[in-house]
Structure 1
Amino acid sequence: MKNQLLRRALLAVLLVLGSFANQPLRAQSILIQNMPARSVLSLDGNWNYIIDPYENGFYDYRREPFDQSKSGKGGYYDNQKPSSKDEPELIEYDFDHSATLQVPGDWNSQDPKLLYYEGTIWYKKSFNLTPKAGKRYFLYFGAINYESHIYLNGKKLGMHKGGFTPIQYDITDRLSPNGDNFVVVKADNTRRQDEVPTINTDWWNYGGITRNAFIAETPETYITDYKVQLAKSDLNTLTGYVQLGGANKAGQTVTLDIAEAKVRQQLKTDADGKASFSFPAKKLTYWSPQNPKLYAVSLSSGSDAVQDRIGFRTIQTRGADVMLNGKSTFLRGISIHDENPLIPGRARGEGDLRMLLTWAKELGCNFVRLAHYPHNETMLKLADELGLMVWAEVPVYWTISWQNAATYQNAETQLSDLISMGKNRAGIVVWSVGNETPLSEPRLKFMSSLAKKARELDDTRLISAALELHREGSNVIVDDPLGEYLDLTSINEYAGWYWGGKPSEITKYTFNIKYNKPVFISEFGGDALAGYHGTAETRWSEEYQEALYQNQLKMLSTIGNLRGMTPWILTDFRATRRQHPVYQNGFNRKGLISSSGQKKKAFYVLQEYYRQQAKKYDGK
């Protein structure tokens, strides 16, 4: 018996060791900052694709993954070609003769048969790149929804979970010396209970490589990470760090140069390649929505140099107030999804994103809630440029698997990646750890741990989440224990739509809020089909939505600590849950702007309210 147990134990060890031999590379543990600013080879454009609902290209007929077999061969990622025209092997796929999809872009909007498809699609792209001596190369994807397995020249680089955060791999030693290369991606947007987000959401589950793809080139020793910001609550001190990666990173000189501000600092990296700094900077023009000043910031070390445009500001709370650069402000906001309503699918590029933010500015906003997941890095930079403060969020949404350790780690990783990507963006003033999560002890532990992690990673911004509320008669009560861990008391409330009667009846509600903190209404609203008209009591009409906004603003004005809002939502957006064949037809119609770009009547109600708030707080 002992010998049998020993043999089993030895076999288990050998299997583990064997599996390590075929392990793929790990993605960067720290995302390389501002990767699009590097010298890049774009992989955007046409990618061949194969629909694979049975995952034949990943598993053999025993449901064993090909890439975990002894040979590591047999999957679609091999991109296998017949070795002979006369006696070809049996190969049951062919990327080169398959149809193509555009990257960036979701698959749902590019082929009618993929409209509702959830499952696996394989992507393949060939490219020519001959590696140069003394250079490093990184494969980058802005986002792939949701689980992706990534292969280069038939070898696995790794697996990534999360549909909205960047993916990076060092591929320097994996490139073909003759320059002929191909990358294969297995993208799977299947919804699962233990993932982040979970099965049930209220937005379209777009699949595919939805953001830019490229290969970035750096020197052998390169700047991998940096933070250049004002110290917490201190308008006169610049703090941060520069982190080198690669070879020979210890004891290197790093130069921080902000020429316009007459700042030039020479720094030395420590044994880990990190150089921290803190020094006075008393003549800066501070970033604000009224004056979104951005400085050209240059970081250099050896043969590597990175350029960025960074604004400097402070954000904090003081009692009931939100203080931007030491001055009380009202967050005049709107919620936004990463979707252009005028064309099917995910927002594809800067033009789509700039249009959305320009609409927000026209509405009178100084703030946007980028819901309910990390948005494109380009969106964050545009918000900086246009003078919009940002609420940035991770997709801990509704009913996450609170007691699953892997689910929590997934959420924390997505939060860490979001903060890493956005930490130099002046516009981001709020990190949100979730939305509308039901009360329970496991949920409180999960969410409070995320809040603590966010504060650990960045103590210079506000931490929030959309809290739960309950009603007793006409009293709206906010006493969610998660509020203890947050800087804002943020709530979603839908009086006049999901509860509270007709719009004319919602002014009877009053709020009993436990926390003496700034109150932020992260959602309110109701659906209206643009062009459909009736009375203020005709549900789905523009007049109903208009009256709802009018009475919501009256009701909310009774909250003494009210310091901002992001009504739901800027534009109509696609949502599979919304199935009414007349009024919805696959769209959530709560937008103030329709799916054809038409401004609804409620748009002008909120615009006028924001004009009054700007006059009160900004003197305009």
Structure 2
Amino acid sequence: NESSVPTQKTDWWPWGGIVGDVYIVETPKQFIQNAYLQLNPDNFSEALFKLKMNHPSSGHNIKLEIPELKFTAKYQTNSFGIIEENIKINPQLWSPESPKLYEVIISSNAETISDVIGFRSIQTQGQKIFLNNHEIRFKGIAMHSEPIGIPGPAFSTEHFKQLLATAKDLNVNFIRAAHYPYTRHLAKVADQMGLMLWEEVPVYWNIDWDNPETLKIAKNQISRLVQRDQNRSSVVVWSVANETPLSSSRMKFLQSLLSEIEINDSSRLTTAALLSGSEEQFRSLALVLALQGAKSNWVEPQEKAIFSAILDQANIKIEDELSFSLSIDDPLGESIDLISYNEYFGWYYVTFFTDQMMISEGTLRRLMFEVMPTIKITSSFDKPIHISEFGAGAKYGNRTNKIWSEEYQAKLYQHQLEMLSNNSQIQGISPWVLKDFRA
């Protein structure tokens, strides 16, 4: 309903039923509820080990082993049933080029659990992103959790192996897993294949920002996602929202989710896929298009006259030079590490202007392609920008060179990449979308 997360209004199909693993697990009365082991970003020969028992009680004997590193240590829980220790190790670091993983074994007097974990750091400095202290760009793709060639949701290891192998064929190093938590197998496969991951919760479009129950649901979702995947080296970004309209209630809501992440895991980047651009900014884009149209030799006289009238009304001369710059100024940018922005120059934005300017869609699309290389995207924050969505739709086999054709789609991506490469603050992309999905 309208108070749920997500609401009933989404642009994807919310597959029903049980889509993840189901286990019946037998445990001792006192068992290990969760354990965390991740690299110290300031000291690569050190890692933070945290463990929590299901009940607060002291004196539980815990042994931590990393056999390949010949590491063994013994600890006891404090009165809260918790261990927090810095351990000395010297691991080979996980990266897309070398996705090294280590077996980690944790045992108590009553049980033994194990996992396979990679060690890496992810940080930002100014407008740059650093993996293991080396500058990196997120060369990515966005996707939905739907398998290739099979109806329904993706949920198994094999499903995600096929999806991520298809992504790797595009030479990506990064996946935006939109717009909701996938099953645990995605991050495990990404660990093995060396793909960095953005994971998010479905705080999507406009939700019931003032409802405490809605906030409780969203906090539960982000907390469970973080606790489940906190040891996955592939996960480098937690996202709390997608395309949410500005309001004070929305700001308070999303700040609460960011605080929830900070409580559980501060070792990764935080973000939200933002919208930006005021009416005034897009009016200036309309003027840039009008000037380009008035100067172009191929524009029909009737449409050229419309462009000239628009310029006259704005006191702009044909010999003037105009450019368009969009500044991302969403106040949430103060609180997140990565300024992520969904933009659709050459696709949705063109239809905004068609009726307003009384110009054919075909003319405006061609003009948009001509001006896109000059468009500047910046932000009000000294942080890296990630273009979290861009692209165009196409029907397979439609080879007409018009909208919805494969040719138009390819041209749009070419012009987008030319535009984005001219913007130095942009440090990552995840175009929309890897494959068709049910909406």
TM-score tier after normalising by the smaller chain length: 0.7 to 0.9
Q: Which moved more, 1:205-214 or 1:330-339?
A: 205-214
| Higher strand proportion (structure 1 or 2) | 1
Please list the CA deviations of residues 349-400 of structure 1 after superposition, one character each: whole Å capped at 9, or x if unmatched: 2211110011111111111011101111011111101101110101000001
Determine whether 1:350 maps to 2:157.
yes
Could you tell me how far 1:240 is from its partner in structure 2?
A: 2.0
Q: Is the 8 A contact 1:455 1:463 kept in 2?
A: no
Runs of 5+ in structure 1 lacking a partner? 1-191, 576-620
For residues 516 and 273 of structure 1, what CA distance do their matches in structure 2 show? Answer: 41
User: Alignment partner for residue 309 of structure 1, among 93, 116, 136?
Assistant: 116
1:374 matched residue in structure 2: 181
Could you tell me how far 1:340 is from its partner in structure 2?
A: 1.2
User: Alignment partner for residue 85 of structure 2, among 277, 284, 288?
Assistant: 277
Letter of the 1:250 partner, please give it. Answer: S
Could you tell me how far 1:205 is from its partner in structure 2?
A: 2.0
Letter of the 1:389 partner, please give it. Answer: M
Please list the CA deviations of residues 564-606 of structure 1 after superposition, one character each: whole Å capped at 9, or x if unmatched: 111111001010xxxxxxxxxxxxxxxxxxxxxxxxxxxxxxx
User: Alignment partner for residue 258 of structure 2, among 451, 457, 467?
Assistant: 451
1:490 matched residue in structure 2: 340
1:299 matched residue in structure 2: 106
Could you tell me how far 1:249 is from its partner in structure 2?
A: 5.0
Q: Assess, with a 3 A threshold, how the Cα gap between structure 1 residues 324 and 339 changes in structure 2: closer, same or farther.
A: same
Determine whether 1:571 maps to 2:435.
yes
Q: Which moved more, 1:522-531 or 1:336-345?
A: 336-345
* DSSP 3-state at the match of 1:203: coil
Q: For the aligned residues, what is the CA RMSD?
A: 1.4
Determine whether 1:475 maps to 2:283.
no
Letter of the 1:346 partner, please give it. Answer: P
* DSSP 3-state at the match of 2:433: coil
* DSSP 3-state at the match of 2:26: strand
For residues 215 and 60 of structure 2, what CA distance do their matches in structure 1 show? Answer: 37
1:226 matched residue in structure 2: 35
2:144 matched residue in structure 1: 337
Q: Is the 8 A contact 2:148 2:159 kept in 1?
A: no
Detail structure 1 runs of 4+ shifted over 4 Å in the superposition. none
2:369 matched residue in structure 1: 504
2:97 matched residue in structure 1: 290
Number of residues paired by the alignment? 380
Q: Is the 8 A contact 2:33 2:52 kept in 1?
A: yes
Q: Is the 8 A contact 1:195 1:410 kept in 2?
A: yes
Could you tell me how far 1:220 is from its partner in structure 2?
A: 3.1
The within-5 A match list for 1:80-159 is none
1:540 matched residue in structure 2: 404
Q: Which moved more, 1:481-490 or 1:218-227?
A: 218-227
2:172 matched residue in structure 1: 365
Greater relative contact order (Cα 8 A, min sep 6): structure 1 or 2? 2
Greater gyration radius: 1
The within-5 A match list for 1:143-222 is 192-222=1-31
Letter of the 1:372 partner, please give it. Answer: H
Letter of the 2:269 partner, please give it. Answer: L
For residues 341 and 427 of structure 2, what CA distance do their matches in structure 1 show? Answer: 12
Please list the CA deviations of residues 233-259 of structure 1 after superposition, one character each: whole Å capped at 9, or x if unmatched: 33121112122236x953021000001
Please list the CA deviations of residues 208-248 of structure 1 after superposition, one character each: whole Å capped at 9, or x if unmatched: 111121211223332221001112433121112122236x9
Identity of matched residues, %? 41
For residues 128 and 378 of structure 2, what CA distance do their matches in structure 1 show? Answer: 18
Please list the CA deviations of residues 117-155 of structure 1 after superposition, one character each: whole Å capped at 9, or x if unmatched: xxxxxxxxxxxxxxxxxxxxxxxxxxxxxxxxxxxxxxx
2:288 matched residue in structure 1: none
For residues 404 and 217 of structure 1, what CA distance do their matches in structure 2 show? Answer: 37
Q: Is the 8 A contact 1:225 1:244 kept in 2?
A: yes
For residues 198 and 48 of structure 2, what CA distance do their matches in structure 1 show? Answer: 23
Runs of 5+ in structure 2 lacking a partner? 285-323, 351-363
Q: Is the 8 A contact 2:155 2:185 kept in 1?
A: no
For residues 513 and 570 of structure 1, what CA distance do their matches in structure 2 show? Answer: 27
